[in-house]
């Protein structure tokens, strides 16, 4: 059997960045190369009903090896990586961390004072990049951990289990991972996304999420004769951004605090565009944030004339609403972690997963750690021991479900 680290490093070599400008599914053809590779691997291992559908979703199953009536559990991860930094030509390497800063390249280092969590892994092996790309533990580590755990279960017949389902999705990083996921065909009673961060994370709460796109039209006039005529779209964009509270930005919030996050800004005198994401765990605060987007647009349109259009779209909601009715699946994961020697860290996700939307689609789906840190950036790393523990937890979850 292939070990989880070998498998993960193989996956990092696939360039799978999703493309939010694309309207296809998957959003980037390159994701299909990893999908086909994984499907071939699943078939070789001997999983049944392995399939890639026309949209790039990979599914497979491990048949029950007992007549005992056991709920069908699914394990889900995503194949794409974040478009916030390139995932092309990833050069993953394993180092023994002995303390202090980790030099990735001449220009970039994981600095202990900036990322103090690194101190928890002193004298452990960790996987890092060369500083030019992200690593891709979000979520190729999750894929590797699921396959490694279930291959072990398949080859260990003394572990009695019910039917187990596997699902690997495209385009999670751009909020579309669950768009075309066929919950009914998948056929699980519940599932777990393996898409969390540091070791021990167990999450069944996440942000309510929306996007806000502000399109601003301006009026270009020669600056020498512009008085009372020019309307500078870029300056209106800057003013719009300044109207949102600085205290409610990602760098100034934590835990259950929501935020407004400007993800892109482009403009000229004639036109400008501000794209923002809105996040909050509390539904009322979430609605208030969307109201402020509309109110600020109204204020500026009254000031300048009708030059701004706001398009606000909900992305996903807090899965706590669904999972609270199915808390036994959280308890199962908690017990599995404890038996695997992992201290459960139950917390709210400051983000979202495919599981958030799948929960509202009829598939309750809490989230479990991969072990990775600093996702979506060049400082991402994955402690080897944490990834191995994720494998152990998946195995223990299957045992817990079968024993109950």
Q: What is the CATH number of the domain that holds 274?
A: 3.30.70.360
Kindly state whether residues 161 and 144 are assigned to the same domain. Answer: yes
> In 3D, which of 146, 195, 188, 204 has the Cα closest to residue 366?
204
365-380 pLDDT per residue, tens = 999 999 999 999 999 9
Kindly state whether residues 41 and 141 are assigned to the same domain. Answer: yes
Average pLDDT over all residues of the chain: 97
Kindly state whether residues 198 and 120 are assigned to the same domain. Answer: yes
pLDDT at 290 over 90: yes
Kindly state whether residues 229 and 184 are assigned to the same domain. Answer: no
Kindly state whether residues 248 and 106 are assigned to the same domain. Answer: no
Kindly state whether residues 149 and 273 are assigned to the same domain. Answer: no
Kindly state whether residues 156 and 178 are assigned to the same domain. Answer: yes
Q: Are the C-beta atoms of residues 143 and 60 closer than 8 Å to each other?
A: no
Which pLDDT belongs to residue 353?
87
pLDDT confidence band for 191 (50 / 70 / 90): very high
Which pLDDT belongs to residue 352?
86
Q: What average pLDDT score do residues 46-51 get?
A: 97
> Which residues, including other chains, have CB under 8 Å from residue 173's CB and lie 6 or more apart?
18, 78, 80, 81, 82, 83, 138
Residue that finishes a domain, picked among 297, 316, 335: 316
Kindly state whether residues 93 and 180 are assigned to the same domain. Answer: yes
Kindly state whether residues 49 and 140 are assigned to the same domain. Answer: yes
pLDDT confidence band for 364 (50 / 70 / 90): very high
Residue that finishes a domain, picked among 261, 289, 316: 316
Q: What average pLDDT score do residues 199-219 get?
A: 97
Q: Which residues are catalytic, by number?
A: 80, 172
pLDDT confidence band for 176 (50 / 70 / 90): very high
Kindly state whether residues 213 and 100 are assigned to the same domain. Answer: no
> Which residues, including other chains, have CB under 8 Å from residue 196's CB and lie 6 or more apart?
202, 203, 349, 367, 368, 369, 370
| Residue 56 belongs to domain with CATH number | 3.40.630.10
Q: Are the C-beta atoms of residues 361 and 178 closer than 8 Å to each other?
A: yes
- Distance between CA atoms of residues 86 and 18, nearest Å: 10
Kindly state whether residues 155 and 272 are assigned to the same domain. Answer: no
Indicate left, alpha or beta for 23 from its phi (over 0: left) and psi (-120 to 50: alpha).
alpha
Kindly state whether residues 22 and 169 are assigned to the same domain. Answer: yes
Q: How many domains does the chain have?
A: 2
- Distance between CA atoms of residues 143 and 86, nearest Å: 20
> In 3D, which of 77, 78, 79, 74 has the Cα closest to residue 166?
74
Which pLDDT belongs to residue 1?
83
Which of 69-73, 109-113, 352-356, 377-381 bottoms out in mean pLDDT, i.e. has the lowest?
Answer: 352-356
For 197-208, the DSSP string reads -STTEEEEE--E
Domain that holds residue 123: 4-206+318-403
Q: What average pLDDT score do residues 354-362 get?
A: 95
- Distance between CA atoms of residues 170 and 118, nearest Å: 30
Residue that finishes a domain, picked among 283, 316, 349: 316
Q: What is the DSSP letter of 153?
A: H
pLDDT at 257 over 90: yes
Which of 166-175, 231-240, 345-354 bottoms out in mean pLDDT, i.e. has the lowest?
Answer: 345-354
């Amino acid at each position: 059997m292939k070990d989880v680290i070998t498998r993960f490093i193989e996956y990092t070599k696939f360039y799978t960045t999703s493309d939010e400008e694309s309207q296809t599914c998957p959003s980037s053809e390159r994701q299909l190369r990893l999908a086909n590779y994984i499907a071939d691997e699943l078939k070789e291992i001997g999983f049944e009903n392995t399939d890639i559908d026309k949209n790039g979703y990979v599914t497979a199953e491990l048949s029950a090896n007992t007549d005992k009536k056991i709920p069908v559990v699914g394990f889900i991860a995503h194949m794409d990586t974040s478009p916030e930094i390139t995932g092309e030509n990833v050069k993953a390497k394993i180092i023994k961390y002995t303390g202090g800063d980790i030099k990735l390249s001449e220009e970039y280092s994981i600095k202990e004072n900036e990322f103090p969590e690194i101190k928890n892994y002193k004298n452990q092996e960790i996987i890092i990049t060369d500083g030019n790309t992200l690593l891709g533990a979000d979520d190729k580590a999750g894929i590797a951990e699921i396959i490694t755990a279930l291959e072990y279960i398949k080859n260990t017949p003394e572990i009695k289990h019910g039917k187990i389902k596997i699902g690997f999705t495209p385009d999670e990083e751009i909020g579309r991972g669950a768009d075309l996921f066929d919950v009914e065909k998948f056929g699980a009673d519940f599932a777990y996304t393996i898409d969390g961060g540091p070791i021990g994370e167990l999450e069944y709460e996440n942000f309510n999420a929306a996007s806000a796109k502000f399109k601003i039209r301006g009026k270009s006039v020669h600056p020498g004769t512009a008085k009372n005529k020019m309307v500078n779209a870029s300056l209106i964009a800057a003013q719009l951004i300044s109207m949102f509270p600085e205290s409610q930005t990602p760098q100034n919030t934590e835990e259950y605090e929501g935020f407004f996050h400007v993800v892109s800004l482009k403009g000229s005198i004639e036109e400008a565009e501000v794209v923002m994401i809105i996040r909050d765990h509390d539904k009322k605060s979430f609605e208030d944030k969307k109201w402020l987007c509309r109110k600020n647009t109204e204020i500026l349109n009254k000031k300048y004339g009708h030059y701004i259009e706001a398009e606000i779209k909900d992305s996903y909601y807090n899965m706590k609403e669904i999972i609270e009715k199915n808390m036994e699946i959280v308890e199962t994961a908690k017990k599995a972690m404890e038996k695997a020697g992992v201290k459960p860290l139950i917390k709210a996700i400051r983000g979202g997963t495919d599981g958030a939307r799948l929960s509202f689609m009829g598939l309750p789906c809490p989230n479990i750690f991969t072990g990775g840190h600093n996702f979506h950036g060049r400082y991402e790393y994955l402690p080897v021991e944490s990834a191995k523990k994720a494998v152990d937890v998946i195995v223990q979850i299957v045992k817990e479900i079968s024993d109950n």
